[in-house]
Structure 1
């Protein structure tokens, strides 16, 4: 019964990502032409340099987050879904009132998002915050605009493996819809990598040599590596459940598990081949 509830919730999560795709790619107040790397200068940020994991779903972002959250200076909470925190102006004149303050709706939302990050960072007592929500791959332009000094971790996984994992995890997922969602996310990751500076990691490398890869992340973030990062099962990382991230037995084991074998080249859908080649998974 519990597994069925989780499966249903996970399926709704996949559908929600698709529903938010259009607004995520075309945020309020930004036209298609101007929705690029335009710094939002409408407000001072409480969190000046947050860290965003840019990855698709089922790419190991929950594993990465618990490894990072085990560091004494890094707070990596469950998925925050910042794109779902939206401002609704409750009167016709409100937009004009806010415009007089230099605060269009998108800028108001950025202030809200920043306040949420600051709240969680202050609550944790740490000084670096990492958000690993997969939908970040679809709203990276807004993040780059809201936080010009943000840092990025690009977490790659073989796109064919991502699709396999989605279908294995969400047994009632429809293949065409799952493929569409995975394609949108991996394409978003690739586009973000081409426009933003950051550190690229591979899920397959993270599972094969977590110490080496977490050392790379620590060097990028400017903190000393801590051995306790590899023993994430000894710390409390909050609940593992749908909408929060991965809730599989693997992540719940408290130990890094080996990645599954990569799919055969012939089994990779045509829609994912271009990205798979760009990431070095296909010749």
Structure 2
């Protein structure tokens, strides 16, 4: 049993600093156990103080009583943070201790692949598949690497052979990957068939999240509807006074998953004066969840937001920047921070209150292409992803999220709130024109490097589209929905309003 010295009780009282001080005393002992070191480090991660966990994790890595269980916990913590090189260090240590574990091998290979070491990942996968040919995650990852390299037929043969020889409880992973491969091969009916089979396997998980999804979307819409022009103007006036003297700049980037948000952030972040968050989750976990979903009603949410004083807003901004710097592993300094979170669109009330001088950038893409791409994306089951269970639900979810923007763009005073829409199609068709327009909106001098985002080394991308944005701009995703029109057609009515309002052909 781990001795936390009373840190848990302190946390229950809301005494975070007291809990940290207790953990510091516990782990300062030379005989601190692996569980105590891990307990302290885990709390630091939870509080967005992961950079303070360095010494604890180094001790854990060499502790004579530490084992695979502790190292894998740390590996997962770093993986969730998108720090895949650090993840690989701990997953590699675990693999060295248990060299014949295909599950650990799969995790280590995934960390290597995500950190850019594809050859290292291939080597690990190849060695394990000799001994464990039935392991679905290893096969799926190897096929994914092959697809990324353009070896579509090789990936297809591998996946189909696996499904034929070793069908089991993780077939859905293989079918998702096979659907993506068949899509690239132009076999769209086959791709949709594999997707539907994968989603049928996941239906029991999806069902568990549907009520949460509905409750979430209803609360978000009620809050956004309360953001009248008068309220937004009042927030802007009061907040700008409170923020006077704070030179840190932020751009709030919303959109919808697969609207080109990751690409747009990558393009902008090539500029020396910018740094992107790559969907940090800070606004959601530290602000949105407690304020919006922790309240008893939407009315309570807005009442609390209205009641914030200048000191409250300043403290909130400080906490946001502190958490974000920890997650990035560096302080943004004087750079413009791009807070990219596609589903931020439905939760703009909180950041608009916190950052009255923020620029709002809304990535757009043909809604029909968006829903098809989102439907194809393999993401963990949650209340945010359950809408990808069927094309009908995906179309409904897109409509429910983007209605927030259609309302807000009519209420944000262009002279008070600075906002801009950026179309994916325009970026693909005329990169220089669009990047110059983006630079102007963001108050930056245009740089030619903004048109060569794929050549600039940087932090690993943690979102599902990480492989796509490592390549030059391409046109194959334009009008992709036409390939799936007969499956999409029954649900297009839900998208008609948005296509018209956002300037896309009906």
| TM beyond 0.5 | yes
Matched, 1:112 2:329: no
CA distance in 2 between partners of 1:65 and 1:158 (Å): 18
Q: Indicate how the Cα distance of structure 1 residues 248 and 74 shifts in structure 2: closer, same or farther if over 3 A, else same.
A: closer
* Structure 2 unaligned blocks of 5 or more: 1-136, 145-172, 178-197, 199-204, 292-306, 380-387
Question: Can you list the C-alpha shifts for 1:109-156, whole angstroms capped at 9, x where unaligned?
Answer: 565335445665962444211111012111122222221111111211
Deviations 1:181-207 (A, max 9, x none): 211222222223222331221111112
Deviates more, 1:153-162 or 1:165-174: 165-174
- The residue correspondences of 1:79-228 to structure 2 (distance < 5 A) are 79-81=279-281, 82-86=283-287, 102=309, 112-117=319-324, 123-170=331-378, 173-196=389-412, 197=414, 198-228=419-449
Matched residue SS, 1:51: strand
CA distance in structure 1 between the aligned counterparts of 2:334 and 2:395, rounded to whole angstroms: 38
- What TM-score, normalized by structure 1, do the two folds share? 0.75
Spell out, residue by residue over 1:22-72, the C-alpha distance to the aligned partner (whole angstroms, 9 max, x if none).
454566xx9947795251858955565411113111100100011111100
1:21 to 196, 206, 217: 217
Name 1:274's counterpart in structure 2: 497
Q: CA deviation at 1:234?
A: 2.7
State the TM-score, normalizing by the size of structure 2. 0.45
In structure 2, what is the equivalent of residue 39 of structure 1?
A: 235
Greater helix share, 1 or 2?
A: 2
2:250/2:359 contact within 8 Å kept: yes
Indicate conservation of the 8 Å contact 2:277/2:324, yes or no: no
User: Which sections of structure 1, spanning at least 5 residues, go unmatched?
Assistant: 90-99
Contact 2:254 2:361 in 1 (8 A): yes
Matches within 5 A, 1:241-256: 241=462, 245-253=463-471, 255-256=472-473
SS in 2 for 1:39: helix
CA distance in 2, matches of 1:110, 1:137: 19
When the two structures are aligned, how many residues end up with a matched partner?
265
